[in-house]
Structure 1
Amino acid sequence: MSRRGQIQMTDDEVRSFLGEERTVICATNGVRGLPHLMPLWYVVRDTGPDGAPELWAWTFGKSQKIKNLERDPRATLQVEAGTEYHLLRGVMLETDVELVRDVDAVTQLGLEITARYGGDLAASSDEAKQLIAAQAAKRVAMRFVETRRATWDHRKLGGVY
């Protein structure tokens, strides 16, 4: 008997989990047909269908991730937590990726990422805004549009396997 349904997260649990965690592993399709895995900082925006959470990240325009996504605009994302089996939880998203190169949009995303990881004060100073704007010219924003989701929260099993 599969217990898969018992460990699935609800939409609210997914949104909360993604808001709590700090690093997503992004897998793109490498030039040799092998996955290219890289960690990213991200923000969650409620811009998906029906207000579903969407992950957004940025990276340098010349990075391998961007080269891979220009060739094949799909990625699989995974956010996970837990150090023991009964505590494991995570979200895996298969996505289509929209690359956004508009400097103003990239700058705005950079400010959001800086606020999330460095605090609102870090992103609000004039100096920070100037640094982020300068970086934005070299970066690309990635909008990850979910096409399929898998979730797990082993804590829901109450230690019974």
Structure 2
Amino acid sequence: MSRRAQITMTPEEVEAFVAAGRVANLATVGRGGRPHLVPLWYVPRGPGLETWTYASSQKAVNLRRLPQATVLIEAGETYDQLRGVSLECDVELVTDRERVARIGSALARRYNPNEQIATAATQFVRLQAAKRIGLVCTPTRIVSWDHRKLGGTY
């Protein structure tokens, strides 16, 4: 068996890893063809994810031009601990204010586990939804690695 095959995560491991992650790096293609890479918070949806951004942001501009992105979620401090999932995604741009607000509320709940704080954020989320768009990232290709599966050998 190849080393690549040994470190590939199962679909269940990918979904669990994406769900456990806190920050994703989203790469879009800029006007000049160069990658535009930004970190963002997200809500896991199966192997994919949802997030929001300001409608005028560079990533939104890029995604209107080409609704595709690559998302990277990674972990590990040393080579033998490296884990990651790279998702090549089609991206749906959500402009419906109610749906954008639902994504914003889900983000508020995920990153503010205190229910009172998350509930209090509802008004802020509703106001923000007018200025934002939702991004629903659906993977078309998934590449994963978990070097821990090698047991310290290379």
Normalised by the length of structure 2, the TM-score is: 0.96
State how far apart, in whole Å, the 2-side matches of 1:122 and 1:7 are.
39
Report the counterpart of residue 74 of structure 2 in structure 1. Answer: 80
- Percent of aligned positions that are identical: 50
1:86-114 per-position Cα deviation (integer Å, ceiling 9, x unaligned): 00000001011100011100101111001
Residue 64 in 1 paired to residue 52 in 2? no
Long gaps (5+) in structure 1 = 47-52
- State how many pairs are aligned: 153
Report the counterpart of residue 31 of structure 1 in structure 2. Answer: 31
| 2:125 partner SS | helix
Per the TM alignment, residue 58 of structure 1 is displaced from its structure 2 partner at its CA by: 0.4
Long gaps (5+) in structure 2 = none
Residue 130 in 1 paired to residue 123 in 2? yes
1:44-102 per-position Cα deviation (integer Å, ceiling 9, x unaligned): 124xxxxxx32011000000000000011110000000010000000001011100011
Which residues in structure 2 correspond to 1:1-150 (within 5 Å)? 2-46=2-46, 53-119=47-113, 120-125=115-120, 128-150=121-143
CA RMSD, Structure 1 to Structure 2 (Å):
1.1
State how far apart, in whole Å, the 2-side matches of 1:31 and 1:5 are.
36
Deviation beyond 3 Å, 4+ runs, structure 1: none
Per the TM alignment, residue 121 of structure 1 is displaced from its structure 2 partner at its CA by: 2.8
Normalised by the length of structure 1, the TM-score is: 0.92
Residue 153 in 1 paired to residue 146 in 2? yes
Q: Does the 8 Å contact 1:115/1:121 carry over to 2?
A: no
